[in-house]
Amino acid sequence: MKTYKDDKTSEELPRFLTEKEVARMTGLALSTLRNTRFQCRGLPYIKIGRAVRYDLRDVVRFMETHKIAPREDF
């Protein structure tokens, strides 16, 4: 079996989440995800027909950019 440099293993392929999975993962209400989507804000998403999916990498990146580190000058 010949493998190519561009072949991706299942670990490298993106994972797509439903809006309910993203709501559970982020703690955001489903209505918040829908409202921000309608306003073209918030998380990037993919829409195929009526199905909405979020790339797991985008969700993790979104959460990381909203991280607040405590001050160390106590």
**Count of structural domains, the chain:** 1
CA distances from 1 to 4, 7, 21, 33, 42 (A): 10, 12, 37, 44, 43
- Asked whether residue 4 is domain-assigned, the answer is no
Predicted confidence (pLDDT) at residue 8 exceeds the cutoff of 70: no
Which pLDDT score is estimated for 13? 82
Predicted confidence (pLDDT) at residue 74 exceeds the cutoff of 80: no
Residue range(s) defining the domain that contains residue 51:
16-65
- Asked whether residue 73 is domain-assigned, the answer is no
- Residues 56-72 have pLDDT tens digits of 999 999 999 999 988 88
- Asked whether residue 6 is domain-assigned, the answer is no
SS3 72: coil
- Asked whether residue 11 is domain-assigned, the answer is no
Helix 19-26, helix 56-65: angle, nearest 10 = 30
- Asked whether residue 72 is domain-assigned, the answer is no
d(CA 48, CA 71): 43
Rounded to two decimals, the pTM is 0.75
